[in-house]
Structure 1
Amino acid sequence: MDFDLILEEIGQFGRYQQTNYLLLCLPVLFGAANSLSYVFTAGIPNYRCFVPGCDDANNPNYDEPWVSAVVPGTTDSSGLFTPEQCKRYDLPSTDGNSTYICGRELPVKNVIKCNRWVYDKYERTIVEDWSITCMENQYLLALVGTAHFAGIVTGSAAAGVLADNYGRKIIFILSTIFMAITGIGQAISSNYTSFVFFAYLNAVGTSGVFPLAFIIGVEMVGPKKREMSGIILNYFYSVGEALVGLIFWLYPDWVILQLLVSVPPLIFIGYYWIVPESVRWLLARKDYSKARKIIKKAAHVNGVELSEQMLRQFELESPTHSETEASKQKELEEVDKEHEHHEVWRTFKEVLSSRVLVLRGLILFFIWATDAFVFYGLSLNSTSLSGNKYVNFILVCLVEIPGYTLSWIAMNKIGRRWALAGSLLLCAFTCVAGGFVPHENTWLLVMLFLLGKLGITSAFSTSYVHTAEMLPTVIRSIGVGAASTVARFGALIAPFVPLLNNYYPTIPLPLLLFGGVSMLAGLLALALPETFGRKLPDTAEEAERIGGYDDADIADIHLSVNSPMK
């Protein structure tokens, strides 16, 4: 039974689909918020050494007028002094006259390391709660991000398999609830180890929220609305990411932030009685009775009356119509599965035996790894820009919206290859340029940074479509999945990039690194064939011929613009 024909009758995106699509978007907001909450929960607040004899032992204050006299640091062009975090001057004995020492310059400034710290009371993160201080411990903060992406790798594979076997809706709801419970677990963690463990589990749950919402949403609308439905879901995801910065700006406490993004999703357990199962999945499982019930409800809400021919088709397709036919159908399906398995392996071997396709695959893998590495690296690095770090983070998240839109327009105007290469080169040039802009020129630096994020967002979205259109049919989903897995390894190392600033503070290594790999990926993208308007390849031989003069068949291809590893 062709569900697209059913949608032609009940409406491709009627009120029923619109309502359920909006309901799917709400958990995506919180999934996005959970995916980047660690940027602030494991963020580095302002802190300095506790100075015995100067600081109040019970209630020390970060901003004291005498700090510059007893703690080394730097003063910017506006006269703002920033103390070092883990060093102070060794104070001589003064017979208790500490006020005098703290208010005057020391004759001899011997620098020593400290073992107690004073934190800026404006922010509270896990750094303060568990004293994860100084350069030698900052890798522990980066490991929180790595644990998150490790959870994404684990959860993505599990969610896909479970959804195919047990249904989209139930796994979507369970992923959302699991995300909420483990997010609360992060908030009530009593030590670093348990926090990282829950961060990993939280990512396992989060990894199923966006992909399954995307699948359910795309499967409920007609072909002409699929691109639009995918893009709108990406918009909600970007807004959810930006909410993290807004919440922490208003409530700069990591526990409050984690609870605010984790507790509300518990209400989505009610979706079990509200959101319908994917009709396409039900039809694939030959559960015609449930599919018919949902379709009849959709037709009623959309103000459409189903034709007698459509209702009759459900009766004919019903398994109870003929036990013999059902048995024969099952045997045919088993034969088809065996044939499909054989075709997959045969095509896979043909791909590996083709130098053109192997080289093309390696280029795609590098581009995907670059996409993820730079995309998440820029998000994490946004809080270290000069200016208001909350505004910077919010803008870096929201700029993804025009990034997805740019990808959609560019792919259909200038083709996939130039859209991909152009987006990567835009990111490259703006990142490198931003690395040489003085920190005092805040708005120019932020503008270049935003253009870089816009470029890499567009590149990531384009990569999904371009990759899918280059692969043979029988291994298309496997190939995109493999590329997505490679991309996650790029994301795994992204949290460590900001640490480069600690070792080379005078060189903008993070931005130069992002720009360099984007430049290489953009140039390599030019070696890929154009696929826009081409017939999707069914075999390895057809895939190898893409871009040649014998590949001029035009196809009406509608592939949804997807988004970075959510």
Structure 2
Amino acid sequence: MGPLAAFSPSYWLFIVARFFVGIAGSGCYEAAYTILTEVASKERRAVLGCVYNMSYPVGYMSLSLIALMFPTWRALQMAISLPMLLLLVHCWYLPESPRWLMTQGRHIEAWAIIKNVDRSLVPPILEDIPNVQKEEGPFVPLHKRIFDGFRKLFSLFTTAELCLRICICYMTWFIAALSYYVLALNADNFSSNRYIYLALSGLVEMPSYILPLIILMWFGRKFTGSLLFLVSGLALMAILFIPAENKLLILIVALLGRFADSAVFAVIILHTSELFPTAIRNTAIGTSLAVCQLGSIFAPYVVDILGSSAWYLPSTLCGGLAVFSALLILLLPETRNKPLMDTIEDLKKAEKRDHVSIRNCCNFS
């Protein structure tokens, strides 16, 4: 669909092509992250999650260089689309998640994959695979798979605990994306050269995925996420008190906010993947990513509408919302060094301290 967008003769065909590009990109991202989470041990989930997200700033920095080489939008679209064709070959060799295969009753496939994995990395649920009956699950028709997809979507709201968890995740993802893209689109107010600002934004993102990795080694998901949201919010609100003529200071503070906002993505993605059982984990991440895209959709309107009144209003609004998210994330249970749940029943059996509650605000273990 990328090449189709590049050669589209009309605006509406371009929109349709980009729509499917967005669907494919989001699907690949969430599926790969879910598989990564489910095959990793609880000690290595944070490390692998942060390393996985480092690919984004590399692409972000590369985009500014590619844009300089291909100044027209059609050439740029083609330049960033052709490399994606290589992923068609890659997908055939990507193994399925053994944990998910087990929940679907496809034990033979799960065991075939797990035999090639270092047993020290195998999650506890898979330790007894040699003892299970090796039989394939029944073939599921397409219409039943579609129905099962909708069932999993509504399963996110079947209990009060699940509803609270997913709503908080939606809020934090939305605010993180809104702040991220407001900072990206408000470039003209932060720097005199948008290309330099774009390159610097990508440059600060690389270490932004290393910082949470270091913090997560000592503290949990809640503390790290709340701290990064707080830093991002305070930095964005601080822009309000900087004179518009002082572009250098505004740029530094904006990049600090961008740094913290980028870092928080690595944490909330990891936290979301651990908050939900295997049966609906991919659905939780996928719908959270969809809400995240809503934040990116609202961002240009926030920049244009509020920015027309005062250049600092978009960043100030996002700063206040980021501080709100810093408090909201404290309500969630801590998931550090805890085994992943596989079914909704596992969630129902969880201790009260592992439920969404105001009492969790001071619980970081």
What TM-score bracket applies, with the shorter chain setting the length?
Answer: 0.7 to 0.9
User: What residue number does 1:193 align with?
Assistant: 12
Question: Judging changes above 3 Å, is the alpha-carbon distance between structure 1 residues 513 and 479 closer, same or farther for their aligned structure 2 residues?
Answer: same
Counterparts of residues 414-453 of structure 1 (less than 5 Å): 414-453=219-258
Alignment partner of 2:350: what SS? helix
Relative to its length, the structure with more helix (as a share) is: 2
Letter in 2 for 1:517: L
Counterparts of residues 96-495 of structure 1 (less than 5 Å): 182-214=1-33, 226-271=45-90, 276-278=93-95, 280=97, 284=101, 285=106, 291=112, 295=116, 330=137, 351-352=159-160, 359=164, 361-382=166-187, 384-471=189-276, 476-495=281-300
Alignment partner of 1:438: what SS? coil
Letter in 1 for 2:323: M
Q: Is the 8 A contact 1:372 1:490 kept in 2?
A: yes
User: What residue number does 1:546 align with?
Assistant: 354
Question: Judging changes above 3 Å, is the alpha-carbon distance between structure 1 residues 544 and 378 closer, same or farther for their aligned structure 2 residues?
Answer: farther
**Mapped partners of 1:226, 1:419: distance in 2:** 15
5+ residue gaps, structure 1: 1-181, 300-312, 318-324, 334-339, 556-566
- The structural deviation recorded for 1:453 is 1.4
Question: Judging changes above 3 Å, is the alpha-carbon distance between structure 1 residues 525 and 450 closer, same or farther for their aligned structure 2 residues?
Answer: same
Q: Is the 8 A contact 1:383 1:390 kept in 2?
A: no
Letter in 1 for 2:320: G
**Mapped partners of 2:175, 2:167: distance in 1:** 12
- The structural deviation recorded for 1:198 is 2.0
**Mapped partners of 1:186, 1:519: distance in 2:** 38
Question: Judging changes above 3 Å, is the alpha-carbon distance between structure 1 residues 271 and 492 closer, same or farther for their aligned structure 2 residues?
Answer: same
Question: Judging changes above 3 Å, is the alpha-carbon distance between structure 1 residues 461 and 501 closer, same or farther for their aligned structure 2 residues?
Answer: same
- The structural deviation recorded for 1:383 is 5.2
**Mapped partners of 1:367, 1:289: distance in 2:** 34
**Mapped partners of 2:254, 2:202: distance in 1:** 12
Write out per-residue CA displacement over residues 232-276 of structure 1, whole angstroms, 9 at most, x where no aligned residue: 33212211122111122343222221121122333454547xx62
Letter in 2 for 1:253: T
Question: Which structure ranks higher in relative contact order (CA pairs < 8 Å, sequence separation ≥ 6)?
Answer: 2
**Mapped partners of 2:337, 2:43: distance in 1:** 16
**Mapped partners of 2:340, 2:107: distance in 1:** 28
**Mapped partners of 1:221, 1:534: distance in 2:** 12
**Mapped partners of 1:477, 1:265: distance in 2:** 22
Question: Judging changes above 3 Å, is the alpha-carbon distance between structure 1 residues 279 and 478 closer, same or farther for their aligned structure 2 residues?
Answer: closer
Q: Is the 8 A contact 2:182 2:302 kept in 1?
A: yes
- The structural deviation recorded for 1:390 is 0.9
Q: Is the 8 A contact 1:220 1:279 kept in 2?
A: no
What RMSD in Å do the two structures reach over aligned CA positions? 4.3
1:532 pairs with one of 336, 339, 362:
336
Question: Judging changes above 3 Å, is the alpha-carbon distance between structure 1 residues 348 and 234 closer, same or farther for their aligned structure 2 residues?
Answer: closer
**Mapped partners of 2:332, 2:86: distance in 1:** 46
Letter in 2 for 1:497: V
5+ residue gaps, structure 2: 119-128, 141-147
**Mapped partners of 2:266, 2:93: distance in 1:** 28
**Mapped partners of 2:85, 2:157: distance in 1:** 46
User: What residue number does 1:25 align with?
Assistant: none
How many residues are matched? Answer: 332
Question: Judging changes above 3 Å, is the alpha-carbon distance between structure 1 residues 546 and 228 closer, same or farther for their aligned structure 2 residues?
Answer: closer
Q: Is the 8 A contact 2:333 2:353 kept in 1?
A: no
Q: Is the 8 A contact 1:242 1:397 kept in 2?
A: yes
Letter in 1 for 2:221: R
Question: Judging changes above 3 Å, is the alpha-carbon distance between structure 1 residues 349 and 454 closer, same or farther for their aligned structure 2 residues?
Answer: closer
Q: Is the 8 A contact 1:500 1:509 kept in 2?
A: no
**Mapped partners of 2:241, 2:98: distance in 1:** 52
- The structural deviation recorded for 1:361 is 4.9
**Mapped partners of 1:363, 1:220: distance in 2:** 26
Write out per-residue CA displacement over residues 296-323 of structure 1, whole angstroms, 9 at most, x where no aligned residue: xx99xxxxxxxxxxxxx99x99xxxxxx
Whichever of the two has the greater Rg, that structure is 1
Write out per-residue CA displacement over residues 42-96 of structure 1, whole angstroms, 9 at most, x where no aligned residue: xxxxxxxxxxxxxxxxxxxxxxxxxxxxxxxxxxxxxxxxxxxxxxxxxxxxxxx
- The structural deviation recorded for 1:430 is 0.7
**Mapped partners of 2:330, 2:268: distance in 1:** 13
Quick check: 1:509 aligned with 2:313? yes
User: What residue number does 1:52 align with?
Assistant: none
Question: Judging changes above 3 Å, is the alpha-carbon distance between structure 1 residues 268 and 475 closer, same or farther for their aligned structure 2 residues?
Answer: closer
**Mapped partners of 1:403, 1:280: distance in 2:** 28
Q: Is the 8 A contact 1:364 1:483 kept in 2?
A: yes
Alignment partner of 2:209: what SS? helix
**Mapped partners of 1:407, 1:467: distance in 2:** 15
Alignment partner of 1:414: what SS? coil
**Mapped partners of 1:225, 1:533: distance in 2:** 9
Question: Judging changes above 3 Å, is the alpha-carbon distance between structure 1 residues 194 and 276 closer, same or farther for their aligned structure 2 residues?
Answer: closer
Question: Judging changes above 3 Å, is the alpha-carbon distance between structure 1 residues 196 and 543 closer, same or farther for their aligned structure 2 residues?
Answer: farther
**Mapped partners of 1:265, 1:404: distance in 2:** 24
Question: Judging changes above 3 Å, is the alpha-carbon distance between structure 1 residues 501 and 393 closer, same or farther for their aligned structure 2 residues?
Answer: farther
**Mapped partners of 2:171, 2:230: distance in 1:** 15
Alignment partner of 1:518: what SS? helix
Letter in 2 for 1:251: F
Letter in 1 for 2:204: V
Alignment partner of 2:191: what SS? coil
Letter in 1 for 2:321: V
